[in-house]
Amino acid sequence: MQTVHVGVGPVSFDDLVRVAREGASVVLADDALTAIDRARGVVEALAAAETPTYGVSTGFGALATRHIPTEMRAQLQRSLVRSHAAGSGPEVEREVVRALMLLRLSTLATGRTGVRRETAQLMADLLSHGITPVVREYGSLGCSGDLAPLSHCALALMGEGEVRDADGTLVPAADALAAAGLEPVELVAKEGLALINGTDGMLGMLVMAITDLRMLLRTADVAAAMSVEAQLGTDRVFAAELQDIRPHPGQALSAVNLTALMAGSAIVASHRTGDCNRVQDAYSLRCSPQVHGAARDTVEHAATVAGRELASAIDNPVVVGDRVESNGNFHGAPVGYVLDFLAIVAADVASISERRTDRFLDRARSHGLPPFLAADPGVDSGHMIAQYTQASIVSEMKRLAVPASVDSIPSSAMQEDHVSMGWNAARKLRRSVDGLSRVVAVEVLTAARALDLRAPLTPSPATGAVVDLLRSNGIAGPGPDRHLSPEIEAAVDLVQSGAVLAAAESVVGELA
């Protein structure tokens, strides 16, 4: 069992993935416990004072003007969590809930929130025991943070609501805690607010999307290399001297990949000289590194923003020295913007992938390949409808690329009069990343069939390794029509698992 230590500093991308997707357990580091205890002392001193302090001895949001007497503050915390756990719709994926819990714990560990160590420890224990609160898809406006999703998690700490246990069984939170030998906490001053006021859900989804897109964009380079090769395109346009005169870093890296992936191809060599009368390849082939590279650069910008957010302590109010200060750091705009940027680039990379695929199916543009790559055109339809599937996904991805972060619906009696909609941006990005993997998988599937149809000419060792991977996983080569959906799904699995990328890298080494 892997273990991730959460201290005062930020968790890493890798640690988040280990906890969210691989089920790693979580331990609070000693520096975190020290920071938590110090901040709690500040909050307790303020709670005992006669002067009201927002978030400690007052109501919240538009109700912040009410001073809450000491004997009612525990009820205040319970009421806050219960009322804010107002999500609706399908359950959010386990990995998303685990990611947001880890990130909330990371903020608690900074010593800026004022919770008790037993409250933070219980959140770590839920992660380590695989207990996942049920969080509903709808409810967050991304300001003040992801209130509703985090409230569903806080509810479980109180022993209320529903959770999934380590086996995925839906059980009452109280039963799951008891089965794990854990005691629910009774929240005290400031703790309810500290547990629910953060950008953790949208940030967790951003980090996982960046992780996936980094892999998928290198896989898109593999797919593009297969398509350029099988379309009898030239690799000369990817030469370093041509890329250097437009020095975008992502473009250069993609071009390096394409050159390496096509190296040693007998298919490319066959038309490097001689009777080839084409002056230029189509944009979808020739401009692959420009599109893939711009997407890479956008992903890395998003990673910079995510890194800053991981290093942040998002709460309101926060403990600063010996006082508690109100602030606006919970606003999700920085995260919401880049979530929307990534949905745009995912849609465009999918769009150019679909265009490369479509060229294989038109005999007027495929340079000698049979219509639709069919064994007996007219009797057989080949990959005709596989491209329809791509087109359907790309169309949806274009709709998903419409930004959520430009919208704002005021709430809380106009106290929260501008919100980020970052959670919504994250939810649609997850669907978009899945769509990109499926579009790229169909391109790989189609390009592999085209490469086979160029026999006796052989593909490059790297693209040939991808073809061999498909064939060894039950995806047959050219032939009469057969049930295509299982082959598409098998290709999707190979793309999403990283197997397609690994096959190419087994020949050329790690791609840039």
Residues marked active site are found at 54
Tokens of 112: 């800026």
Closest CA to 189 of 336, 296, 89, 69: 69
Q: Which residues of 6-23 are buried (b: 16+ CB within 10 A; e: fewer)?
A: bbbebbebebbbbbbeeb
Nearest CA among 107, 105, 125, 108 for reference residue 40: 108
Is residue 433 packed enough to be buried (19+ CB in 10 Å), middle (13-18) or exposed (0-12)? buried
The CA angle 92-95-98, to the nearest 5 degrees, is 95
Residue 65, both tokens: 């003007």
If we measure between CA atoms, which residue out of 332, 370, 113, 327 comes closest to residue 230? 370
Cβ–Cβ < 8 Å for 30, 133: no
SS3 305: helix
Q: How far apart are CA 458 and CA 452, in angstroms?
A: 8
**Looking at 92-144, which runs of residues are DSSP E strands?**
132-133, 136-138
The DSSP symbol for 396 reads H
Q: Are the CB atoms for 418 and 330 separated by under 8 Å?
A: no
Query: Is residue 293 within 8 Å of 121, Cβ to Cβ?
Result: no
Instruction: Calculate the CA 288 to chain-centre distance.
Output: 23
Contact 84, 416 (CB under 8 A): no
Vertex 176: Cα angle to 174 and 182 (nearest 5): 80
